[in-house]
Structure formats: C-alpha cells, structure tokens
C-alpha cells in the first residue's frame, strides 16, 4: 500500500493506492469510528462522494471511497474474452482487500449506480464482511434484463451499445468530451469533481475498463446473479434501498422495494428528491439517510 498524503478535494482525507489481485486501487479515506465504504457509479470516480463523505465523518464514521477497478485512477488487468477481469465479483474482491489493508475486516457498504451492482455482489460473495448494505438508484442487473422492454431499451440503450466489441471505444475515443460533458455539469457536480471526471474519461484505458464493466454486466455478472437466484441466495445484511425521485426507476418498475424483496431480507427504503447523481445533487439528504441507517 502506498500513500499520498492529504486529498485536496476531500479535506482531512488521505489517499492511497492499494494492490489487490491483479489491480491497483486508488482510495480516499478519512475520519474515525465505524467504517463505511462508498462505491461510485459510471462514469464517475470516488470524487462523486466529495459532499457526502465529510458529512459522514462529522457523524462519527471512517469513510472509504475507492475508484472502482479501471475507473478514475485505479488500474486493473487487461480485459479478458469472457469479461471476468472486470466482473462485479472481481471488483467486489478488490473492495474487500482494500478495506482489509486499511484495517477493517467488516464494514457498512453503500453503492450507487454501477457501484450498487458491486455492492450487491460483495454482500452475496462476502457476507461476513458486510454489516449493513445500502443500494442507491438501482435494481439488480438480471432484474433489469428480465423486465427489458421497448421503454427500457430506449432509455438505457447505452447498456447494449457499450457491450458491442470495439465500436464504442472508437466512437467515444474520437471525442470523449463530446460524449461525457453534456451530462456532467460543473455547477451541479462541483468544479474539482468535474475536472477529475473529465481527466479520467479522456484516458482510453479508463474508457476501455468502463466498457468492460458493462460487457461483464450483460454476460458473467448476469450469470452470477441468475445462479444466486436459482440457489435461493439472498443478502442477509440489513438493506437500505434509496432511489431518485427525478430519475426513471419508479417510472419503469414501480416500487423498487418490491423487486429488492426477492434479493434481501426485509429491505427498507425511500425516494430522495434528486436526479440520478444523488450524492452530488442531494448530499445532505443522502448523508442523513446513510448516517441513520449505519448508526
């Protein structure tokens, strides 16, 4: 584990790079008290939590914010033909190892967007590590695909575009700013968070890893979820489900808790008045919800 001192975007936090099995994971960590791990979504980095993490520290938690394998400043192995190198199982194992090297065998866990799929996989594969689980603006990948219809395909077409071989790399790589900047508002995100995001997506290695995340989602990750469903595996940890009022999860599926009852024992949760990137747009509400749940 190498350490790089204080983090300008997260005052009082340290940054480290931690070696796992085949990856080098960049992580921000700070605070004292019970550990909480926060996992970001696509195409964000750990910087997406820059407004939530200090609020959780103020509530008495140690907060750990990694860049997922291949995202941001983390690096992973070369992609594999079966996409297992970027599977949620591989990324979940990274997170367990990061927490262990920071001194935590158990922790509370929250994931947003793609990070929520990692969080679910981690809770299923490493139940002994997860005290409590929070999933944000998501249902399991296999549940999306089971319900996929024309509305889903129209709104979430990028899932299927990203899964194509080589084409999305060429399209995005031709002008990454044109691809990502329209949905990345520096006023909403914060200028430093925006700058970190744009620096990451201009790196073709990061773009390739993010695309592999989606390719894994439609193949090996779906297979892992279907195997868990067939075997009757469910999350044993207490589970909180949060979703955005101004995103489309409810419009597509109704009450997300109904779906999560198939995956967790007695999940609880509610909507946050926010768009999709709720950690940036509604940080006080998110921090309050997580703090109450993890207390």
Interatomic CA distance for residues 223 and 140, integer angstroms: 12
Residue in 112, 224, 276, 277 annotated catalytic: 276
Q: What is the dihedral of CA 210, 41, 10, 195, to 10 degrees?
A: 50
Supply the pLDDT for residue 4.
Answer: 66
Residues 39 and 119 sit within 8 Å (Cβ to Cβ)? yes
Sign (positive/negative) of CA torsion 207, 210, 212, 217?
negative
Is there a catalytic annotation at residue 276? Answer: yes
- Considering the candidates 67, 113, 213, 247, report the single residue annotated as catalytic: 113
Among 77, 70, 56, smallest CA distance to 26 is for 70
Pairwise CA distance, residues 177 & 25, whole Å:
25
End-to-end CA, the chain: 29
At 210-226, the pLDDT tens digits run: 999 999 999 999 999 99
pLDDT tens sequence across 74-89: 999 999 999 999 999 9
* pLDDT, tens only, 229-280: 999 999 999 999 999 999 999 999 999 999 999 999 989 999 999 999 999 9
The whole-number pLDDT of residue 113 equals 98
| Rounded-to-integer distance, Cα 65 and Cα 157, Å | 29
Would you state the pLDDT for residue 1? Answer: 79
Instruction: Mark residue 100 as left, alpha or beta (left: phi above 0; alpha: psi -120 to 50; beta: remaining).
Output: alpha
> Strand pairing partners for 6?
14
Q: What parts of the chain have a pLDDT lower than 70?
A: 4-6
Which is nearest to 152 in space by CA: 79, 249, 74, 225?
249
**Cut 0.95: pTM above it:** yes
Domains in the chain: ranges and CATH: 2-294 (3.40.50.1820)
């Amino acid at each position: 584990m190498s350490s790089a001192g204080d983090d300008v975007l997260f005052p009082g936090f340290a940054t480290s790079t931690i070696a796992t099995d085949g990856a080098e994971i960049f992580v921000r960590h700070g605070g004292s008290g019970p550990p909480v791990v926060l996992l970001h979504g696509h195409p964000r980095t750990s910087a997406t939590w820059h407004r939530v993490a200090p609020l959780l520290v103020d509530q008495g938690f140690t907060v750990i914010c990694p860049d997922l394998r291949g995202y941001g400043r983390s690096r992973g192995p070369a992609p594999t033909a079966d996409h297992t190198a970027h599977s949620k199982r591989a990324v979940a194992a990274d997170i367990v190892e990061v927490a262990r090297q920071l001194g935590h065998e158990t922790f509370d866990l929250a994931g947003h967007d793609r990070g929520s799929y990692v969080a679910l996989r981690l809770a299923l594969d490493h139940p002994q590590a997860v005290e409590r689980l929070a999933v944000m603006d998501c249902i399991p990948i296999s549940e999306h695909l089971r319900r996929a219809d024309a509305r889903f395909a129209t709104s979430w077409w990028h899932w299927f575009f990203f899964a194509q071989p080589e084409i999305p790399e060429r399209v995005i790589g031709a002008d990454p700013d044109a691809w990502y900047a329209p949905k990345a508002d520096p006023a909403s995100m914060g200028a430093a968070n925006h700058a970190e995001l744009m620096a990451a997506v201009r790196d073709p290695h990061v773009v390739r890893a993010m695309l592999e995340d989606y390719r894994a989602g439609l193949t090996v990750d779906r297979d892992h979820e279907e195997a868990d469903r067939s075997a009757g595996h469910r999350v044993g940890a207490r589970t909180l489900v949060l979703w955005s009022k101004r995103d489309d999860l409810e419009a597509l599926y109704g009450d997300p808790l109904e779906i999560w009852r198939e995956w967790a024992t007695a999940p609880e949760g509610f909507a946050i008045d926010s768009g999709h990137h709720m950690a940036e747009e509604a940080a006080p509400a998110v921090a309050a919800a997580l703090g109450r749940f993890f207390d």
